[in-house]
Structure 1
Amino acid sequence: MGGSSGSFSLHPDIDRQSLRRDFAEQGCVQIAPFISDDAAEELRDHVIARDDWRVRVLAGSSKPIEFALPAWTAMSDTQRQAIRQAAGPIDRDPFRYIFQQIVVIADDLRNLEPSTVLGRFAAFMSSDPVVELMRFLTGAPDIDAADASATRYGAGDFLTLHNDHLDEHGRRAAYVFGLTKEWRTEWGGLLQFHSKSGDILHGKVPRMNALTLFAVPQDHSVSQVSSFAPNSRYSVTGWLRAT
Structure 2
Amino acid sequence: MNLNLNDKVVLITGAASGIGLATARSFAAEGARLSLVDRDAEGLAKAKEELSAHTEVMVTAADLAGAEGVRLAVESTLETYGGVIDVLVNNVGQCFARRFDDLRDEDWLATFEINFMSAVRAIRATLPAMRRNGRGVIITNASDLARQPEAAQPDYQVSKAALLSLTKSLALHEGPAVRVNAVAPGPVWTPLWTRPGGFADTLGTVHGQDAKAAVEYELSKRQMPLGRLGTPEEVASVITFMASDAASFVTGSIWGVDGGTVRGLL
Greater helix fraction, Structure 1 or Structure 2 = 2
- Shared fold per TM-score greater than 0.5: no
TM-score, scaled relative to structure 1: 0.29
TM-score w.r.t. structure 2 length?
0.27
Greater share of strand: 1
